[in-house]
Amino acid sequence: MSIARNEQTGDITHGHELRALDEKTIRLTAYTCPYDLCNIKATPCSYRETNIKNSHFRYNDKHLIGCGIHDKKNNDHNNGDEGKNKNNSPPTPYISKLNLVVDNPANRKQNKNHNKDASQEDPRPRTASSSSIKPIIDYYENNIDIAKNQQLLIPTLGTKSYKEWFQNVINKENIKYVQPCIFHGKLFSRSNIFINKAGFIYLKFLTKHIQNAITLEIDTNNWKAGELSVFKKEFDIEKDKSTKYYNLKKQNNQPAEEYLYIYFLGHVKSDTVLTTNSFKLIYFAFKHATILPSSNVGYTIPVKSAQPVKSAQPVKSKLTTFLITMKSFLNL
Ligand SMILES: [Zn+2]
């Protein structure tokens, strides 16, 4: 895990993303430490197809005083057993915006100037944005208590707290997801990436009975070749870890405590199918079972009386429609 800020766009960039970019773009882009008081140069590494290691950022210089990396709370998780900080990479700062639209060069310049001015006038850290989901997940998982109530803007979908955006894919019968969310859930450990002729990948979430499993449909039709290969590679790395882990657990007759997780910004296609379409909005991780705080308004579970239990939303909107109809009927 390593991050840097793209000085042209202002976006926080995850090291993994580098391999999906072409070499020229990487060479022409300046990357720095995302903490305003630091801002030292970050060097993109292992971003060529031929590199065996994952692409990442390396910081050769010492981070300056005032950089987020010096905060005590950050040091704690940077010294974790994942060896997260071996590239001297800072922790992910608070991200307040997910940039869904790929910017054009004209906007880039404007963004840059705007950001520079803001930093001169205001010594507080700029709010950070990201064009991929990875830094958002990193930030949330490492700062749950603070982050759950912080706001995140996803253009066209709105601004909500981290807690409201996140939705665990829960293994419950008849569950119906009702709105776009940052979904996260366990996949079947035998999952595979197979792209069908129409350009779709289908993955199933872990359930006791596979026929009840929620499916994720990934539309890869607008992906670049580089993105597809990074996507497959990331999946393979995480799946490999999971296969080794499960084999070992089986041999020793121990229960599993780690799972193959997927995170994605997704929409609801039907009662049992969620859908997503951007390489940057999907993230795999083999890790300890975790449930991120979520407000659970993203689903309903119909009970025998056919009343939604979890969310009052559909009832409310039906009532509103009824009132509007009545009003117009009564000519009010
Ligand atoms: Zn720094």
Q: Which pTM was predicted?
A: 0.80
Ligand 1 is an ion; residues with CB less than 5 A from it: 33, 35, 38, 63, 67, 90
Give the distance (Å) from ligand 1 centre to CA of residue 90: 6
Predicted confidence at residue 198, as pLDDT, reads 97
Give the distance (Å) from ligand 1 centre to CA of residue 297: 37
Give the distance (Å) from ligand 1 centre to CA of residue 147: 21
**DSSP-derived secondary structure for 194-221:** -B-TTSEEEEEB--SSGGG--EEEEE-T
Residue 132 DSSP code? S
Tens of each residue's pLDDT in the chain, 332 residues: 699 999 999 999 999 889 888 899 999 999 999 998 899 999 999 998 888 888 899 999 999 988 888 766 665 544 443 445 677 889 999 999 999 875 444 444 444 444 444 344 444 445 789 999 999 999 999 999 999 999 999 999 999 999 999 999 987 778 899 999 999 999 988 889 999 999 999 999 998 887 788 999 999 999 988 889 889 988 999 999 999 999 999 999 999 899 999 999 999 999 899 999 999 999 999 999 878 898 888 888 877 655 555 554 555 555 555 555 555 555 55
Give the distance (Å) from ligand 1 centre to CA of residue 35: 6
150 SS3 class = coil
Which contacts (CB < 8 Å, 24+ apart) does range 145-148 have?
A: 146/94, 147/94, 148/293
CA distance 266 to 183: 7
Domain boundaries, the chain: 1-147, 163-306
